[in-house]
Structure formats: structure tokens, C-alpha cells
Structure 1
């Protein structure tokens, strides 16, 4: 009688399968039932994954942007070409670009100002590391704008890292329980960031803006920031999971466009983790607004918010908005008012409403966007930093938290605000119902200029040079 050897994972891999979590169960079944080679191949057929090719006919996308000059023409062409590559991704069924669109990476990467609709799939690369970047407005009634800005300045936190233990906000136990119940978020790195980054705004184009309503004259506080390190950690985990699926089911798909199938356990868990990140980010705005109100002894007259960098679900469709403001109420379960579109520190923040159309897919722009990179903009400016700053912020109370001016956040770094507003009208991308006229704002500024590690490097260099003399 012939003695059969037990098979191992090696034999299954030799048959063309990649190591997977179903291996132990399959090996046990094959060995327990002493399957012949033919029987084993027939049994393993159920685990064979059919690879998905790129779309031969790329999905359509709507272009809600027009170039007004040569610089804008270069920008628009780059965005359109990138979208044409992106729309070959097998999960994609629709898309659009907004007037604030600008490229963010290699060809095929979703641009800022892009909306991409996928069927039963979440693409972490399409919401990027700053998950749920969003804006919140609180109406301070007839409060003095300077008093509000001063109070907010004493409370907010810009720059890298988080708050030390002495200045951290109290963390809600119910939210902590949700985080600990999530397979994606229940780790020390995420929990630590969630605690220490609460009440922080980061850097880049994030801001704290104070202005007055054109309609009522009331003072408004508006904050702009995302989920900080808490969201960035989820993004990193999501990209790793999506990459595993990409290698297995669609290796032709670009790495940045890898996806997590929603019908999988990982997909459901990732979607739930995104909702927790959204809840945390909303709280991140609220603690700053509430602390400012408390400092000046006021109650809010109104408050509303919206994210503009997130994934929105409608049935089996997932709308990835990389810098696009949701107009359609179905995208916001806690909608309390109109939406907010900031342009630049010297322009009003637009308060908008609007209806879903075939062109806009239920979205509006999220801001003014850029025509050139920060580096290109910096190189294009002549004169001293202080002179440029004074010229572009005349009449406004503009503050940089690091006390170092960042000229790449001044108005000239962004697209022409009037052009964006005109194209909103032209393409039906929301109706402006009020404007918050700027009084002033706070941003991180060039916090790297005098960063401790840079100062240490400079001192080390001075010490070495002195040693040579």
C-alpha cells in the first residue's frame, strides 16, 4: 500500500498560489482527506483569484475648470492627463475635477480638486494621509474680532507633534472605546497620537481665521485642519493592506491607486475606522472653538462644518474627494448648515449651498488651489520676505505661530480667487449665500527655519569651523 506524504504550503505555492490566510485550513483538509494531486487541484480552484486588468475604456470624468493663461494651461493639462491615467483603474466608474484642481504626484495620482467614484472599493491613496481635512465655523455674534483672534491664539497649537501632558484636552472615554475596538486603530501609536494631537492644527495650509459675516456683521471663527498623526497612521496601515490586495488581484494598477475591497473584512473594518477618524477630527475643531468661547465668556450663536478630503459612501459607490466640498446632504450624516470654501487669507471664506448635477457629482471646490509648487512660488518672488508679507497682507492681522513668515501661504501662492468663483458659477458648483470678510488669521509659518535640529546643525558647523581656525 502506497504511503502518502503530508503536503505543506510549499506544494501549494508551487501550484501558483501566493501564501494566504486560508493556507492552514486548506492544508489540513487536503491532508486529513488524503487528496490525490488531481483532487487537490480541483479543491484549490475555489481559492484561485482572478486578476483584474486595467479598464480598456477608461471611465469618464467631468472637467469643471478652464485655463485663463499659459500658467493655468500647463496646470490644467497636467491634471487632465493624470486623471486620464487614473480613470483606467478597474474599480472606477466616474470622476470630476474642480476649478481649484492641481497635480499632486506622478501621472495617475488623484489631483487636489479631484473626485473619483469607485464601486465597492476604498482607495486610501485617494484620501491621502490628511484624512478628513475639514473646516468648522462658529458664530461669535457681535464679539470683537481682535478679542476672538487673541483668545484663539492663546489656545491653538500649530507645528509638528502634539501637546504635552499638561496642556492636553480631556479625551472622551466613549471615543477611546471605539478606537480600542477597531483592528486598524487599536495600537499604541494611534492612541498616543489621538490623545496628544487633539486640539492641534499641524502646518502647511491649515489655519485659524477670524472675520465678519457680510450678511449679519457677526464675528466668525473658522478653523481648517485634518486628523493629524491619528489619521496619518490609519492611512499608512490602509496603504499596506491595499497593496496586498493590489499584488493579488490587480498588479497592473498603480501602487498609489491600490484599493481595499469593501466586501472583505478588511474593507468593512477600514470604513469603520474612517468614521472614527471623522469623529475625532470634528472633535479636534470643537475643542479649539469651545475653549475660545470659554476664554471670552461667550455662547455660540451658530456652528457648522464640513470635510473636504474624505471618502463618502452612497450605496455601493465610494466618492473619494481629494480636496472637494460635499454639496449633497447624503454625504454628511450630521449636516447642520451650509458649507465652507476658504480661498486665501486675504479673501472671504465663502458660505455655500448647492444641488447635485451630472457635472458636479454633488461637490464644489474646496479652495483656490495652486498653479505652481511651493518651491516654484518661492523662487518667483523678489524682495525681502518682510516686504512681500507687508504688501500682500495690508490691513489684515496675519500671524504665524512659529513667528517665521511662510511666503508660500501668502495670497499670491494661490490661484486667482475671482477666477475660481467665476468658474463655480459657470459650472454650477454651489451658490454663495454669505461671505466671511477677513479680519486676520493664524498659520503655522515656516516652523522649520529655526527648528531645534537645524539650530544644532548650524552650531555643530560653527564649532567645526572654529576648530579649524
Structure 2
């Protein structure tokens, strides 16, 4: 029977002067293994002795584990700035407090140089979705996001909008036949030069992911990723086209399991090397002067190129089905980090996690929900936004909240009333789960000019049924 006098708690060990951390658990295990038949006083005396001079107990049969833990280099928790640096918020009335708290924490990082919050912002991990953060010589893997290089891509065809009615069934079959979502992949994936990049031979984690990348190329993720036909209306002269309405294809996806694994690997490295207070732990960074920082930067850019290749293969397949080539293509990342310059000409690392690059003259695409229009935009180069804009309508409900709140019948009626047909998807992606894209656009008139619109008509998302609720 266990001697009650030897019961020692973690709080007891702390009261002896032990530091918080792994050593407390180690000490408890040692007490349980070697002092269960001794008095509490004897156990305390042993614990105090090893704490006083751990080096004397490195070879001790009973206490060496505690001694080694006490002598191990302790991780220094980096301190945040007392107050956040100034940052700009666009569309503040529509942004939840959680996202505001996250950007404030980001702006207290010692490496933070500038920040902004876009009008579609909502809470995420580390940097909020819709958050923009400029740092000095450091990259934050979670500031880029798990889906590295997630992007929009649009191709415009010199084909009449009437095709959406006249050939609706053909277009639906093309979407089903030529797209794969979630875990689904093509039986015979296409080759692409991105898979021949030398980084697959030079960076071990990248090389280990090559087979997965080759298998998933040309496919799309689940969740809010989509491929859809719709009507694009452009201003006169844009893309050298007369003002009018055209058939267009719009896709949204990222770097699939390839990018996600890179993000996970380097986020863990960053968190192991860069200890931050609990509220900021997901903002751990890699210094770009280190091997790990350089590796992540190269891998991130490769994942971005891979995401672009996936989109291009989707659009190539559709062009074959339409028997014509597009007259224009517009695309942009919105989960990425870029090397840019501040007003003084100094290099900064700009993280856009769910934000569209909007430097002066830069084209981009900001989609709405499955029933709301998207916008082709040209950036104005606004310094306060760090040359950025929203990346979409932005969620106003979490996925769980949408599933528990929205009525399936009402959602289907709403989609039908909008003249849209949805293949796949679920209540978590219903229009009501998103903010009003027009309000978002009104909040960023200083950031972008609208040069065209896109109205979805046939939407393909994860799943093979007509709009259904995902369990």
C-alpha cells in the first residue's frame, strides 16, 4: 500500500523553488518511481539537494533525470511590446473582436513593422484571416497560412453569355469531369514542369512530398474552394475587349496537401525555436538569415508555383472542352509572403493571410459568395493598407454555426432565386454564412478600382450531388 506521507504534488515541487515546465513532470515521475516507500521529508530533501547543485547528481541512479532537466538550456520566452503599433482597420463595424485582438497581438511582435486588417477579416490562427503584417527580415509560417499560395484564377472567353443556358448540361458535365475536390484525385494526373524543380532534391521535407504533389496536381481542396462558370462584364478596353458580357471560368484553391505539410513542418520549427507568450505562440517566426528561414522561403514559393500550376491545369482542361482559348487570364495569391519595400525604401516581408495584393496598377480578383458577384480590381497602392485589399466576402458565421443555424430548404430557395446551380457544397458554404460582398467593397474604395464583375452561374465544390448538407 502506498505511504500517504510520500504524496507530493506539482504545486509542492514548485514551492521548493523548481521552475515551471517539463522538470515538474520529471520530478513527479522520479518521486513515484524511487520515493514511494520513503517519507515526504526524505523526498523533499532529495529534491532540494538536486535543485541546489544539479551537476552533482548527473550520474545519480535515481535523480539524474531531474538533474539533466534542470541543467538543460531553458527556452527564453520572447517579450512582446507593451502596446501594439498603430495599424489600419477597414470596415471595422463588420469585424469580430477576435480578429481585432489577433491583429493587436501581431502588432506587439518585436519584428512587426506595419499592419492592417481588411474588411472581410475574421478570426483564424495566429494572424487573422484578412490580416496583413509587415515584418523585418523574418517570415511567420502561420502568417502565410496552412494553405500556402491559395489563390484565385479567372479565364475569360470570347463566347456569349447565352452559352450558360444553351449549353448548361454540357458545362455541368465539364465541371464534374474535369475537376476533383478534397481527397479525390485524377486517375492519370498531368505532368507539369513545377514538379521538376530542383528543390525536390535539395530540401528533404520538400522531396518527401513530391509523390503527393504529383498525385494531387490539377485538383482542388475542400471547404470554400470552387470552380465555377459565370458571366464576366468588363469595362471598355480592359483586356483589349469591348465593353460587354463574356463567358468566364473562376477557380479558388491552393497548394493542397503539399503546401499544408510544408506549413505544418516549418510552423513546428518556428514554434520550437521562437518561444512566445501563449496568446502569440502561433506567430512564431523564422529569421531569414537562418537556414530554416531560407528553406521555408524557398518551399513557400515552390508551393505558390504549385498552386498556380493546379489552377492552370484546371483551366487548360476547360479550354479543351470549350474548344477555344481564353482571351484573358487574371490570377493572384492571397495566402503568401512577399519581399516588398516600405516608404523609406527598406525591405519588408509582407504577409497577406487572406488578403489580395493591391499595389498600384496590380490586377486581382475578389470573389463573393456562391450567389453574389465577384470583382476584378486594380490596386491603388494605398500605403496604409500595405498595398492590400480583401480576398473575398469573408465569413460572418463559423462552419459549425452555419450548419446549426441555417435552414437547408431556405438556402436552396435562395440559390435557386439567384439563378445559380450548385454541385457539391453544404450549409457551411451557404451564402448566408458570408458577409455582404457589396459592403466589403464599399469599405475599400480607397484600396482598389473595380474594372469588371463576375456573376457565378454554375458552381462546383466538394461533393458530387446537387447542393447538399455535408454531415
TM-score (norm. length: structure 2): 0.75
Q: Which residue of 2 aligns with 1:293?
A: 319
- Aligned match of 1:400: 423
CA deviation map 1:93-114 (0-9, x unaligned): 1110011011124xxx311111
Question: 72, 83, 89: which is aligned to 1:57?
Answer: 83
Q: Distance in 2 between matches of 1:253 and 1:267?
A: 23
1:147-186 CA-partner distances (Å, limit 9, x unpaired)? 44532331100122533xx331224376343322234411
* CA 1:226–1:347: 2 relative to 1, 3 Å: same
Name the structure 1 match of 2:228: 209
Contact 1:182/1:269 (<8 A) preserved: yes
Aligned-partner Cα distance in 2 for 1:51–1:210: 50
Secondary structure at the aligned position of 1:408 is classed as helix
Match of 1:465 in 2: none
Could you tell me how far 1:90 is from its partner in structure 2? 1.8
Q: Which residue of structure 2 aligns with residue 233 of structure 1?
A: 261
2:134 corresponds to: 117
Say whether residues 1:154 and 2:177 are aligned partners. yes
Q: 2:442 aligns with which of 422, 442, 445?
A: 422
CA drift of 1:253 comes to 7.4
- What's the offset of the Cα at 1:378? 2.4
* Structure 2 counterparts to residues 239-250 of structure 1, below 5 A: 239-247=267-275
Name which of 161, 172, 175 aligns with 2:193: 172
Check whether the contact 1:115–1:322 (CA below 8 A) recurs between aligned residues: yes
Provide Cα deviations, 1:8-49, integer angstroms capped at 9, x if missing partner. Answer: xx9xx8996649xxxxxxxxxxxxxxxxxxxxxxxxxxxxx9
Q: Provide, for residues 200-225 of structure 1, a one-character-per-residue CA deviation record: whole Å limited to 9, x for no partner.
A: 11111111121122232111101000
In structure 1, the residue matched to 2:49 is none
Structure-1 residue corresponding to 2:288: 262
Is 2:149–2:336's contact at 8 Å kept on the other side of the alignment?
yes
Task: Report if the CA contact (8 A) 1:246-1:253 is conserved.
Answer: no
Q: CA RMSD in A?
A: 2.9
Counterpart position of 2:358: 327
| Range 309-318 or range 169-178, more displaced | 169-178
Conservation of the 8 A alpha-carbon contact between 2:105 and 2:280: no
Aligned residue for 1:193? 212
- Partners of 1:214 and 1:14 lie apart in 2 by 66
Contact 1:133 1:226 in 2 (8 A): yes
Deviation at 1:359, TM superposition (A): 2.2
1: distance between equivalents of 2:317 and 2:132?
34
C-alpha distance in 1 between matches for 2:207 and 2:277: 30
Match of 1:136 among 153, 158, 162: 153
Does the aligned pair in 2 maintain the 1:209–1:442 contact within 8 Å?
A: yes
2:443 paired with 1:412: no
Does the 8 A contact of 1:212 with 1:437 survive in 2? yes
Bigger Cα Rg: 2
Gaps of 5+ in 2: 1-64, 235-243, 342-346
Is the contact made by 1:389 and 1:407 (CA closer than 8 Å) also made in structure 2? Answer: no
Distance 1:251 1:348, change over 3 A: closer
Unaligned runs of 5+ in 1: 1-9, 20-48, 330-334, 455-469
CA contact (8 A) 2:195 2:214 kept: no
- Please name the residue that 1:352 is paired with: 377
For 2:70 and 2:230, locate their aligned partners in 1 and report how far apart those are by CA, in whole Å: 66
Q: What TM-score, normalized to structure 1?
A: 0.75
Name the CA distance, whole Å, in 2 between partners of 1:444 and 1:51: 42
